[in-house]
């Protein structure tokens, strides 16, 4: 009998399995949308968050392994098409309160809650960050207790090209990159290879892709103690045995120049220094050009948020980013950036504000506040567990 498309079984957004080990089971979660480079959808975030909670409570599960399907990407970011549809529907309904954008409100709350859960997960959680790891993909990977990169890994926060900013805790993560280089990464979307990802503390171990199966086999053979700290040390030793030295990437090669650029006293001066880069190096030139065509509003938001996140807890950073992201979905360049990149594909966004002078600190200030401060924050409960390392 022929099966129609309506009869075909739905494709699970995340695949879950458990692998029996000698002294415990390994929970394996695979993001399952290779056609979109495993872009994180709301359905995917809901499914993964629910399963992580289940595995955390299951004493038979000793550790969790997180990966992406396909050869190209772990996760290339959030579901921009879904967010764009939600923004269009909100505006067609008359706009108004940013919280009335139901899809954006649900997406950012679910995504940030999931990211925070990973940061504070009570069991070893290994993320295999192969291929493209961008935006929302870094949000998933950055909080894992063990973050593996391989020869094909490319990490970036490219949000300035779509009118957003490095969210998913990116404000907190980038504020802690050595020598303030996180500012450079936010403004330019510059990609990091494995070596630079480890240098920026967005990854921990470089393991060649060919050894992925061997690492999983070794995990299954671990004699787990049930003590989280000891078990994490065991996984670290296991990965060290499989890891290889990794050469410095462009971020490290140009560390002195980038540190000088990022020592600027203001965003305006920082942007001027990047615009003045005169070098034959392709990585630096692409970084300069990306800033030149990016959203001035995104540059301002990213800059201001890193300054705030430098003194915030991770939970408070997620709460701040939640309102900022909802305001971006309502009043910022986010919809226009997605339109130009993915919908009309003309790559000619009309940014508003159009210049950095117009995208002032005063312009950005309303993005950081709740529409109604008297109402409880949707992420008010974050922080009930121990915070990750600062």
What is the percent of the chain with per-residue pLDDT over 90, rounded to a whole number?
93
**Could you give the CA distance from residue 156 to residue 137 in angstroms, rounded to a whole number?**
9
Alpha helices in 100-154 (DSSP H): 102-119, 136-142
- pLDDT at position 1 is 36
Mean of per-residue pLDDT scores for the chain: 95
**pLDDT tens for each residue of 139-158:** 999 999 999 999 999 999 99
Instruction: Decide if 51 contacts 15 (C-beta within 8 A).
Output: no
Site of tokens 């772990």: 74
Q: Given this model, what pLDDT does residue 22 score?
A: 83
Residue 356 has pLDDT above 70, yes or no: yes
pLDDT tens-digit readout, 303-353 = 999 999 999 999 999 999 999 999 999 998 999 999 999 999 999 999 999
Helix or strand holding residue 54 (H, E): helix 42-57
Contacts of 72 by beta carbon, 8 Å cutoff, 6+ apart: 34, 37, 131, 132
Tokens representing residue 211 in the block: 């050894």
d(CA 265, CA 11): 50
Per-residue pLDDT tens over the stretch 56-95 = 999 999 999 999 999 999 999 999 999 999 999 999 999 9
Give the pLDDT confidence score for residue 26 in this predicted structure.
Answer: 97
State yes or no: pLDDT of 8 exceeds 70: no
Residue 89: CB atoms within 10 Å? 12
What average pLDDT does the segment 5-9 reach?
A: 49
Domains and CATH numbers, the chain: 14-368 (3.90.226.10)
What confidence tens digit (pLDDT) does each residue in 189-236 have? Answer: 999 999 999 999 999 999 999 999 999 999 999 999 999 999 999 999
What are the CA-CA distances from residue 286 to residues 32, 162, 291, 297 (Å)? Answer: 31, 16, 9, 20
Q: At 299, list the tokens.
A: 């540059």
């Amino acid at each position: 009998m022929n099966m129609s498309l309506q009869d075909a079984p739905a494709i699970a957004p995340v695949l879950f399995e458990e692998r029996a080990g000698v002294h415990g089971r390994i929970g394996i979660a695979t993001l399952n949308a290779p056609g979109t480079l495993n872009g994180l959808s709301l359905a995917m975030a809901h499914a993964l968050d629910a399963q992580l909670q289940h595995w955390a409570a299951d004493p038979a599960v000793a550790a969790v392994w997180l990966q992406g399907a396909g050869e190209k990407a772990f996760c290339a970011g959030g579901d921009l098409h879904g967010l764009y549809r939600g923004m269009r529907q909100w505006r067609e309904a008359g706009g108004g309160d940013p919280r009335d954008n139901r899809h954006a409100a649900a997406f950012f709350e679910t995504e940030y809650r999931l990211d925070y859960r990973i940061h504070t997960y009570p069991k070893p959680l290994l993320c295999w960050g192969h291929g493209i790891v961008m935006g929302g993909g870094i949000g998933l990977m950055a909080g894992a207790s063990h973050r593996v990169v391989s020869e094909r890994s490319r990490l970036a926060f490219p949000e300035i090209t779509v009118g957003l900013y490095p969210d998913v805790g990116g404000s907190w993560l980038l504020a802690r990159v050595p020598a303030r280089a996180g500012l450079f990464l936010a403004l330019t979307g510059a990609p990091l290879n494995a070596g630079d990802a480890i240098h920026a503390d967005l990854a921990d171990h470089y393991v060649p892709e060919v050894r992925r199966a061997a690492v999983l086999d070794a995990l299954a053979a671990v004699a787990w103690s049930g003590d989280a700290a000891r078990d994490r040390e065991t996984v670290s030793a296991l990965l060290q045995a499989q890891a290889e030295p990794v050469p410095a990437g462009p971020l490290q090669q140009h560390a002195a120049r980038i540190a000088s650029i990022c020592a600027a006293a203001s965003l305006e001066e920082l942007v001027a220094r990047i615009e003045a880069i005169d070098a034959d190096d392709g990585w630096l030139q692409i970084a300069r050009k990306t800033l030149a065509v990016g959203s001035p509003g995104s540059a301002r938001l990213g800059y201001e948020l890193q300054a705030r996140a430098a003194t915030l807890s991770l939970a408070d950073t997620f709460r701040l980013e939640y309102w900022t992201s909802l305001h971006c979905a309502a009043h910022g360049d986010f919809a226009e950036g997605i339109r130009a990149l993915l919908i009309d594909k003309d790559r000619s966004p009309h940014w508003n504000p159009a210049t950095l002078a117009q995208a002032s600190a005063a312009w950005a200030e309303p993005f950081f506040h709740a529409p109604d401060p008297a109402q409880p924050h949707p992420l008010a409960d974050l922080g009930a567990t121990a915070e990750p390392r600062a």
